[in-house]
Chain A
Amino acid sequence: MGYALDFSAVLRGLDQLLWGLGLGLTMGLAGLAAGSVIGIIAALAHVFGPRPAQTMVRLYVGFIRNMPILVLALFAYFALPQFGIRFSNITTFAAVLAIYAGAYLTESFRAAMITVPHGVLDAARSIGLTGTGMALHVVLPIALRNALPSIGNNFISLFKDTSIAAVIAVPELTFQARKINNESFRVIEVWLAASFLYVATCALIAIALRRLEAWFPKF
């Protein structure tokens, strides 16, 4: 076994790796934000909306959660241009991420909404709030706080899923690592480094989330 560990190639490419990490985090945040909008609307539609809306939401969630992200991304990036829809690979992937995240976030918000205590809903009804008023001023504020842990876990998964963007040549962390791998042949070091960066970032996000949860306690 004549392999001597030598991290110099990795260290030289560190700024590229970190830049890729930043891109991954940015895409993850964008996906989380857009996905949350989709998730809240879909959850409201499912909990308060008419039967057809419920079915549509269920179809959306069921379809997306059984689909590999890569297939969605390849479809969006290569097939949609046939219909004239053509965006950059980064934008396309972020949009796919948002739609993918939306399906999971819908379930997070829905679960949080239906666990708002019935008594609080009774009180809202008894002072004369209508369905819309109740949803907006009582259910949503409480549900958003209660959904925080679940949203946090979703974000961590989402961040890891940004690695898939490498397959459509988005220059995030995994793509950069593969590039360094192919150029320097430091096959062991680069993947140790990439893994370390992902694990460390996820750990930091988890710590930040715990702080956030302590600040906004569940109702």
Chain B
Amino acid sequence: MKPILTIRDLVKTFGSHTVLQGINLDVHAGDVVSLIGASGSGKTTLLRCVDLLEQFDAGEIRLDGEPMGYRVEAGRRMRLKGRELARQRSRMGMVFQSFNLFPHLTALRNVMLGLTKVRRLPVAEARSIAEHWLDRVGLAGRRDYYPSAISGGQQQRVAIARALAMEPRLLLLDEVTSALDPELVQEVLVTIRSLAETGTTMLIVTHEMRFARQVSTRTVFMDHGAIVEEGEPAVIFGQPESRRLREFLSSMSQ
């Protein structure tokens, strides 16, 4: 079965600093790939490149075989802009560390915005889809609340609903519990686990090692912009091969 997402030799530099040194990764339907590594290893940059929030400098990203971020014309790569780029972005969903809900809209309208303005659905249909997804993350009762009136954990779950309502091919999660108070982390992890169980394809950057081990089908360890080790969670966490991974895991368990 062909992968949903293929990344080949992805390179990203910021000025003179190479943040991604040639990443190769495949994600198949139903995969839950956890991405672990120290701060600065490039995990967030990788996610942002996949979601086309950053322009990458070399390599390719393909979603269902289609190249993302550029178009090939007469053998040359033309970067996509404007509407075409936006369309490609809408095919992937991203949930951010700082939730990034639209502060001027209620939870329901936050979820509806993409449906009405990007997928151009009629309002009634958008509303019922949005209500379905809010219910799915357990927040049907907070529909008409503004982000400032709900807790961080609830905001994050609304953010997940907002991303899923767009019916993305895959869901990218960037340290979605790192900004939450400890007691609010669980509700988000429970939501993600239930999504994994229903077959949502996900690429998760996280510091929650136990959670990554339990939920993911594959774990990837990054260090200094490169993938160092990759494999089944049980192996990565239980029998780490490389020294850097062992050092990382022991530093995380402190």
> Interface size on A (CB < 8 Å)?
20
Is there contact, CB below 8 Å, between A131 and B118? no
CB 8 Å contact bits of A130-147 with B (1 = contact, 0 = none): 110100011001100100
Query: Taking the complex as formed, is A128 at the interface, i.e. its CB lies under 8 A from any CB of chain B?
Result: yes
| Closest-CB distance, A137 to chain B (whole angstroms) | 6
Which residues of chain A are within 8 angstroms of B90 by Cβ–Cβ distance?
127-128
Given contacts A131-B82, A133-B117, A137-B117, are A126 and B163 in contact (CB under 8 A)? yes
Chain B residues whose CB sits within 8 angstroms of the CB of A127 once the complex forms? 89-90, 93, 113-114, 118, 162-163, 166
Nearest-neighbour CB distance to chain A for B169, whole angstroms, equals 13
B162 to chain A, nearest CB (A): 7
User: In whole angstroms, how far apart are the Cα atoms of A141 and B102 in the complex?
Assistant: 10
A51 interface residue per 8 A CB criterion: no
> Per a CB cutoff under 8 Å, which of B82, B87, B89, B102 touches A120?
B102
Q: Is the CB of A122 closer than 8 A to any CB of chain B?
A: yes
Report yes or no: A137 in contact with B89, Cβ–Cβ below 8 A: no
- Interface assignment of A22: CB less than 8 Å from any CB of chain B: no
The answer to whether B102 and A133 have CB atoms under 8 Å apart is no
A218 to B, closest residue via Cβ: B103
Contact A130 B86 (CB under 8 A): yes
Which of A124, A125, A126, A130 meets B102, CB within 8 Å? A124
**Which residue of chain B lies nearest to A120 when distances are taken between CB atoms in the complex?**
B100
- Tell whether, in the assembled complex, residue B101 and residue A125 are in contact, meaning their CB atoms are under 8 Å apart: no
Instruction: With A129-B118, A137-B113 as known contacts, state yes or no: A123 contacts B100, CB within 8 Å.
Output: yes
CB of A52 closer than 8 Å to a CB of B: no
Q: Is A83 an interface residue (CB 8 A)?
A: no
A128 engages B114 (CB within 8 Å): yes
Chain B 82-98: CB-based contact to A (< 8 A → 1; otherwise 0): 11001101111110101
In the bound assembly, the distance between CA atoms of A124 and B113 in angstroms comes to: 9
From the candidates B53, B83, B159, B166, name the one contacting A130 in the complex (CB within 8 A): B83
| Contact of A50 with B by CB under 8 A | no
Contacts of A117 on B, CB cut-off 8 Å? 100
| B104 interfacial by beta-carbon distance below 8 Å | yes
Q: A138 — which chain B residues lie within 8 A by C-beta? A: 102
B51 interface residue, CB < 8 Å from A? yes
> Within 8 Å of chain B (Cβ to Cβ): is A84?
no
Report Cα–Cα, A123/B114, bound state, in Å.
Answer: 10
Q: Contact partner of A128 among B87, B98, B102, B103, CB < 8 A?
A: B87
B101 close to A123 (CB less than 8 A)? yes
Question: Is the CB–CB distance between A219 and B100 below 8 Å?
Answer: no
Q: Is the CB of A145 within 8 A of B114?
A: no
**Residues on A with beta carbons closer than 8 Å to the beta carbon of B91:** 128
Whether A122 and B83, one on each chain, are in contact in the complex, defined by CB atoms closer than 8 angstroms, is no
- Chain A 33-59 against B: per-residue CB contact (8 Å), 1 yes, 0 no? 000000000000000000000000000
Chain A positions within 8 Å of B103 at CB level = 120, 142, 219
Known contacts being A119-B100, A123-B100, A123-B102, is A128 close to B163, with CB within 8 Å?
A: no
Contacting pair B94 A126 (CB below 8 A):
yes
A119 to B100, CA, bound (A): 5
Specify which chain B residues have a CB less than 8 angstroms from the CB of A142 in the assembled complex: 102-104
The reply to whether B113 and A126 contact each other, CB–CB distance below 8 Å, is no
Residue in A117, A129, A130, A219 whose Cβ sees the most chain B Cβ within 10 Å: A130
Note all chain B residues with C-beta closer than 8 A to A219. 103-104
CB-defined contacts of A125 to chain B, threshold 8 Å: 53, 86, 89
Interface string of B164-191 (1 = CB under 8 A from A): 0010000000000000000000000000
- In the A-B complex, the 8 residue pairs with the closest CB atoms: A128-B90, A123-B100, A127-B114, A119-B100, A128-B118, A219-B103, A126-B94, A130-B86
Give the B-binding residues of A (Cβ under 8 A): 117, 119-120, 122-131, 133, 137-138, 141-142, 145, 219
A to B CB contacts below 8 Å, 16 in the list: A119-B100, A120-B101, A122-B53, A123-B102, A125-B86, A126-B163, A128-B87, A128-B118, A130-B82, A130-B83, A133-B86, A137-B113, A141-B104, A142-B103, A142-B104, A219-B104
- Residues of B at the A interface (CB closer than 8 Å) are 51, 53, 82-83, 86-87, 89-94, 96, 98-104, 113-114, 117-118, 159, 162-163, 166
